[in-house]
Structures are given as structure tokens and as C-alpha cells.
Structure 1
Amino acid sequence: MAAGYGELLRTRHAARLLAGTLVGRLPNATAPIAIMLFTRAEGGSYTLGGALAAVYGVSNAVGQPLLGRAVDLKGQPRVQLPAAFLSALGMLLLCLSGIGHPVLAYLAVVVAGLFTPPLEGGLRALWPSVLGDGDKVHRAYAMDAVAQEVMFTVGPLLVTVLVSLWSPAAALLVINGIGVLGALSVVVSEPSRVWRSAPREAHWLGALRSPGLLALLGSFFFVGVALGSITVAGVAYGDDHGKPWVYGVLMAALGLGALVGGLGYGARRWAGAPEPRLLVIVALLAVGYLPLLLTPGVVAMTVLAGVAGVFLAPALACAFIVVDRHAPRGTVTEAFSWLVTTFGVGSAVGTGAAGPAVELGGTAASFGVAAVGGVLALLVLVATRRVLTVPQVGEGAVNMAAASENDRIGEVEPGFSSGHQA
């Protein structure tokens, strides 16, 4: 397993692109907690902090596919780096203005969220031109999903360390400054500079004109609902046991399960089309959420949380392949960005639904939101399996032909360097 990922990271450009993307995405991974801590330090209420974080999230959800489309049209450096600077300037404006003028504070987080660079989708568009071989690309998607789990664990810890050393405002500025450096590291690399999307058919729907992609997005909206609800349910579970630290333990177990599952998935060479495999993985993911309804003792619940996380990273990794197969030509970055947006919106909906569920039915009911989300994600895939079995002939097919004719990144012809046919 380690040897397989080591081989990927030893490939020229791979480690730099992965590290730069993760560092560049730190501001996005830490924004909710950083905004909340800043608001509280400025004397604002939890309500205001939550509202600012929510507005940031909505703005990010709107901006990702729009910026992703711009990347497909204009290339990565001309979009990613200016967007990173504008996003950082939004957070700088928040730090300078404080919360004394709410309208200005909301404007600042809108700018920061709207212009968050689509580094996640951009990295997945680059993998085929960097790695070439299809199996390597699929393992890179799994490594990508695992790295996300690490980032979303380490990021909030980094914020708390910076806050303890300096202040919430300093944490915001440092994290966003680091994010700009990460984006800069990516866009000055050779793969990012020479990458061009395949020629695209002009269509106002862009990537969303693909029925298969729409089916996948519908499913992962509900996966997001499940994951978002667990964050609230975990807090309620900790309160029930009079131990607030239990929440952190449950989230760590969930992340550890995803880490183990992603490593295992990426270590194996998979045969056959990914769509039927995704159906099985999402079914197992849904089954993993059901035992959480039992809300047993802390030790048993921690084990169940770990089991519930095992199939999350494999589901994401397999979904990346499906996105690649169904994205229309010239829309690969936009298509991946839509997955980010849909998952994020679903998570926000799950968080919002779990709160009333706790009030009305207790902790078990809030975990029930996760169970329902998992089941609905599976049902969407079952209902649309015929659509998903017919891949869109687009980015992936184009790149497969290009990759077979070019052995190194400098030889990839502009316009034929994104996506990969699984």
C-alpha cells in the first residue's frame, strides 16, 4: 500500500501538486472555525458567527463551478492565482473591519468564499497529464481523498494553535497567506502552466448537461447530508454523556475510518467499470450509518463511528473516476467543482436538519438524518443506474488518446491534457 502511494509521489510534479493543492485549500478547510473564533473574539454572538460562516459556505458553493468553468476556458494560472489573492483580501477586509459594521463583514466573507480558487478540481484535471497510466490516476484519486481527510483534521488544529499563540485575526491572516503560497506553488508548476482543457461545445449548462453527472451529483448531495448531520449528532451525543470531548473522539474515529478505507481502496487494482462499483460502495456506506442509531456507550459508539467512515474515502475516490467519465469535453474542472459544491451544500443541509431532529427526537433522531441521507444517496444511484452506465464521450476519452501518445508532460498537446477515461 505504502509502496503504491510512494511510487505516485515519486513521479515528477506529483508530490508538489498534491502538497500545493492541500496547502492552498487550507483557508477553505478552516474558514468555518476561524470565522467563528474571530467573531467571538470581537464580541460577536454565536448567531452572527454562524451566519458569517454560512454566508461564506454559500458563496463558496456558488463560486466553485463558476471559477471551474473559467479555468476550463482560460487555463489554471490566469484564474487560480488571482482568485486566491481576492479570497485572501476578503479575509483581510474582515480582519480590518471587524464586526462593528455587519454589512462590511458579510461582504468580506462573500468575497472570500466566492473567490476561493478551485484547486481541488484543478488537481484532478492535472493527474492524467502527470501520471499518464490509468491505474495510477485512479490510485491518485484515492490518495487525493485520503489527503482530504488529513487536511480537514490538521487544518482546524492549526487554527487553534495559531489562535493560542497570537489571535483569531492573526490566524485568519496567516492561514490565508499560506493558502496563497500553496496556490502559487501549483500554478507556476509546468503541468499547470501547459494544461489546457479539451475544446468544448458552447452550452450554457456546461458540465450539467451530462445526465450521468447530474445523477452522481444527486447522490452525493445526500452523502453530504449524512456527513453534515453527524457533526451535530456527535455534539448532542457528547452532551448526553456529559463529556464534550466525546465529540472530538467520534469525529477522529470517523476520519480514521475514512483514512483506512481510502488507503485500502487505493492499494488495490480494480477491474471493470466504476459505476457498478460505486453503487456497491455507497450501499456499504449507507449500511455503515445505520448502527449509529443505537447510540451505545462511548467505546462502542467510537467503534461504530470508525466503521461508518470506512467507505467515505473510497466512495469519493470512485466518484472522481465517474465524474471524469461523464464530464462533457472541455468541462472537467467545472464538473469536479460541481461535485465539491453539491457535497458542501448537502453537508450544510444535513447540519441544518440535524438540529431540529435533536430537539424533536433526541440524539438518535439526529443520527437518523445520517441514515436517511445514506439510504437516499443509494436510492438515487439505483434509480439512475441506466444513465450512469453510458459514459459521456468527453474529457476522459480525449485524454486517453493523448496520454498514450505522450510520455512526459512537456509533450502533451494543448487542449488534450485533462480528464481520463477509466
Structure 2
Amino acid sequence: MRESTKRQQDGERPLNYRALFARPGVRPWLLVTLAAKLPVAMAPLALVFLVRETPGGYALGAVLGGAYVVGEVVGAPVLGARLTGARLGRELAAGLLVGAAAFAGLAFCATAPQPLTIVLAFLAGAAPAAHAGGLRALLVGAVPEEAVARALSIETTLTQGVWAVAPAAVAFLALGAAPGAPLLLAACCAALAALGVRALPRLDTTEVDPAGHATGEPPSRSRALAAGWPVYLTSAAAMALLATAELVLPALLESRGLPVTWSGPLLTAFSVASVVGGLLYGARQWPGGARAQSLVLLVVMATFVALIAVLPGLVGTAVALLLAGAFKSGVMVTRNLSLRERVPSSMLAAGYSVMYAVQGVGYSLTASLAAAVLAHAEPAAAVLSGAALTLVLTLVSALAERRPRIA
């Protein structure tokens, strides 16, 4: 009998946040995850600040940022597939150490030949790219079944908090200390995360199918990971909304005669609303299963993002962004829960890594779509195009969910 069922029969209530933090391994996991996520949040902007005063300037910064993202997209599924069983911690630590070395190399190579800096940027993105999926799998394995949603809400809140403070930290260090200082901090954080991950509790490697029943023979790795493709699609849909909100907002404000400088505070408020939304989602149980919740929340978030193009003035834009941000964390948590229902637990780290890569692809493709629309239409049309793309992807995912999982 599963632990969650036994707790329910015994009349025990699900763990609250305080009890969850008190569980063995959760607090160390928070520290390791914070150290691992901070370099990821800092890297794109840190690479721009690193080379903005070199002959390559901002153009080279954009190239390095692109190489870093490509590294993440390539490294997450390739290295994530290796995160199984007893070697999960070893693989995570190795990837983080290589990433730390790449970050340190970049910090001292601002004036090095461009091919070298591009390779280092790619390596800094690729080597530790599987950490998101691996650490999430470790967290899920460290808490009882009924507390998984709340634990994932904590992870989402931590992620949003890191992304909210990282740009300010990069600007402060790069302008106040040295252009390479943010990347040195990233290197130190990645190295500390590599040391910390080895001390985290190991996962139970018993083979379990997506419904939670023990199986006698492990399924095909490729078929098991492919079973999660509808969830991967919702991840791409969610990142389409995020890209639309982040990339089109400055142009939208300018087209309405509003100061572009408001884009920073508005996006910060968007992130803060996401932090609050994540905590509220994890604070109670909600009706319906995770897959149904994920689809509904995506539609609601897409609606509020579309309202950014419709509601007039600064207040209307701010209200729409705040409401979209409030539902963003719920989307992130429910898609992680949905993947657990479709991928065997022994391959969950790999599944999360694949999903992480798909997020990067979704963001990049939506950025390209937004750029194409902005070249021929008003920014409001670009916002509506991003929301429409999300709704189409959500519809395809919903139809796919009605089909049976791969055996």
C-alpha cells in the first residue's frame, strides 16, 4: 500500500509547508537547488555584460547567449537520459563541476578568440543542463505522495524568486565590481551545488509504471519518455506565453505612448505574482486531476496574456500581467505532476530534462514568431499571436491526453 493511501486511511492531514521543510533532505535540497539555479538565471545577461565593452560588443553578447541556450537545449535531453539509479547524483555533480569550470573560463576569457568563448558558453549551458530534472526528481522522491504538489510549488516559487533577483545581481556585480564578476559567482554557485548534491538522499530505484504499480521488467527508455509528449507540448505552450509577455511588452508600451522603462517593474511584478500564485496553489488541494488542471490553467493564463493587448493604459496592462503571473506557477506545477502520471518513476529525471529542453525550444520559436509579427504588424498583434499559439498547442495536448499511454 502506498504511503499516501495509508496516511489517508489513518486520517492524517497532508503535510503543510512547515512540516514539509522539516522533512530530512528538503532543506539541503533547497540550498543545492538555489546554488544550481542562480547560474542559469544569471548567465544570459552576464554574458552580455561580459563582452559589451569588447570589440564584439552587444552582438557578441547575443551570440554567446544564443550558444548558451543551444547548449541547454542539447544538453538537457542527452545528459538527462543518463540520470538513472545510483549514478544520478554522480552525473549531476559531474555536470555541475564542468559547468562551473566553463563559467570560470568565460570570466577570464572576455578578450579571447570568439570561437573559444562561444564553445565555453555552449559548454556552460550544456554540462549542467540536466540539473533541473535531476534535482526535481530527488525532491519528489524525498516527500510522501500527498505532499508532492506542495513540494513542487516550493520549487516553482524558488525558481521564480531566483529569476526575479538575478538580473539585478548581474547588473550590480558587472557594473560595480568587474564584467566577469557575475560569471565568477555563477562558477562558485555551480561548484557548491556539485558538492551539495552528493549529500542529498538517493532515489528509490524500484521500477514503477506511471500509475504507481511495480513492474517486473523496465520499459523501453525511448518509448517511456515518448509517452510524456503531450506534457512536453504543454511546456512549450507555457513558454510561448512567457516569451510573449517578456519580449513584446517593451514594444507594446512604446506603441501606447507609455514609458518603456515600465517594462522592468511590470515584469518584476509578473514574477512576484507568480511566487504568490505558487504558494497559494500548493497551500490546498484543488478539484480535478493534474492534467485537467494544467490544461485549464494554461487556457486561463493565455486569456490574461491576450488581455495585455486589449486592456488600455498602464493600469490595464499591469492588471493583466499580474493575473497571468498568478496562474503561471500553477501551470508549472501541474505539468510536472502530469509528467509523473505518464513516465515511469525511474525515468522521471530524464523526463523532466526532456521537458526542460522543450521549454527552451518553445521560448525560442515564440521569440522568432514575435519578431516576424512585429516586423509587419502592431505589438498587440504579436501578443495575440503568442496567446493563439498557446491555445493551439493546448488543444493538441488535450486531444492527445484522451489517447491511451504507450505500453
One-letter code aligned to 2:233: G
Query: In structure 2, what is the equivalent of residue 102 of structure 1?
Result: 114
One-letter code aligned to 1:139: R
CA contact (8 A) 2:235 2:358 kept: yes
> What is the TM-score of this pair, normalised by structure 2?
0.88
Deviation of 1:270 after TM superposition, in Å, equals: 3.3
Query: In structure 2, what is the equivalent of residue 396 of structure 1?
Result: none
Distance between the aligned counterparts of 2:203 and 2:402, measured in 1? 33
- Structure 1 pair 164/366, CA: closer, same or farther in 2 (3 Å)? same
Gaps of 5+ in 2: 1-14, 208-216
Query: In structure 2, what is the equivalent of residue 9 of structure 1?
Result: 21
CA-to-aligned-CA distance 1:109-146 (integer Å, 9 cap, x gap): 111111025222122212343222x2211111112112
Distance between the aligned counterparts of 1:112 and 1:170, measured in 2? 16
CA-to-aligned-CA distance 1:295-354 (integer Å, 9 cap, x gap): 521122111111122211101101111111111353110001111111121112212221
Q: Does 1:78 align with 2:95?
A: no
Query: In structure 1, what is the equivalent of residue 236 of structure 2?
Result: 221
Q: Alignment partner of 2:376: what SS?
A: helix
1:148-163 equivalences under 5 Å are: 148-163=159-174
- Structure 1 pair 57/165, CA: closer, same or farther in 2 (3 Å)? same
Deviation of 1:166 after TM superposition, in Å, equals: 0.8
Distance between the aligned counterparts of 1:288 and 1:156, measured in 2? 25
CA contact (8 A) 1:197 1:332 kept: no
Q: Does 1:352 align with 2:363?
A: no
CA contact (8 A) 1:197 1:331 kept: no
Q: Does 1:364 align with 2:376?
A: no
Q: Which runs of 4+ in 1 moved over 3 A?
A: 196-204, 238-242, 390-393
Query: In structure 1, what is the equivalent of residue 249 of structure 2?
Result: 234
CA contact (8 A) 1:258 1:313 kept: yes
Q: Does 1:123 align with 2:135?
A: yes
One-letter code aligned to 1:228: A
1:240-389 equivalences under 5 Å are: 240=255, 241=257, 243-294=259-310, 296-328=312-344, 330-387=346-403
- Structure 1 pair 242/275, CA: closer, same or farther in 2 (3 Å)? closer
Structure 1, 270-279 or 318-327: larger mean CA deviation? 270-279
Query: In structure 2, what is the equivalent of residue 138 of structure 1?
Result: 149
Distance between the aligned counterparts of 2:68 and 2:226, measured in 1? 27
One-letter code aligned to 2:205: S
- Structure 1 pair 41/76, CA: closer, same or farther in 2 (3 Å)? farther
CA-to-aligned-CA distance 1:392-419 (integer Å, 9 cap, x gap): 78xxxxxxxxxxxxxxxxxxxxxxxxxx
Gaps of 5+ in 1: 394-422
CA contact (8 A) 1:163 1:171 kept: yes
- Structure 1 pair 207/86, CA: closer, same or farther in 2 (3 Å)? farther
One-letter code aligned to 2:389: G
Q: Alignment partner of 2:346: what SS?
A: coil
CA contact (8 A) 1:228 1:351 kept: yes
Distance between the aligned counterparts of 2:24 and 2:346, measured in 1? 25
Distance between the aligned counterparts of 2:316 and 2:36, measured in 1? 37
RMSD (Å), alpha carbons:
2.2
One-letter code aligned to 1:201: P
Deviation of 1:27 after TM superposition, in Å, equals: 1.0
Distance between the aligned counterparts of 1:130 and 1:74, measured in 2? 15
One-letter code aligned to 1:378: T
- Structure 1 pair 16/114, CA: closer, same or farther in 2 (3 Å)? same
Distance between the aligned counterparts of 2:273 and 2:340, measured in 1? 26
Give the length in aligned residue pairs.
383
Deviation of 1:272 after TM superposition, in Å, equals: 4.6
CA contact (8 A) 2:50 2:174 kept: no
Query: In structure 2, what is the equivalent of residue 180 of structure 1?
Result: 191
Deviation of 1:205 after TM superposition, in Å, equals: 2.0
Q: Alignment partner of 2:180: what SS?
A: helix
Q: Alignment partner of 1:129: what SS?
A: helix
Query: In structure 1, what is the equivalent of residue 214 of structure 2?
Result: none
One-letter code aligned to 1:215: P
Q: Alignment partner of 2:108: what SS?
A: helix
- Structure 1 pair 144/376, CA: closer, same or farther in 2 (3 Å)? same
Distance between the aligned counterparts of 1:323 and 1:26, measured in 2? 25
- Structure 1 pair 58/216, CA: closer, same or farther in 2 (3 Å)? same
Q: Alignment partner of 2:309: what SS?
A: helix
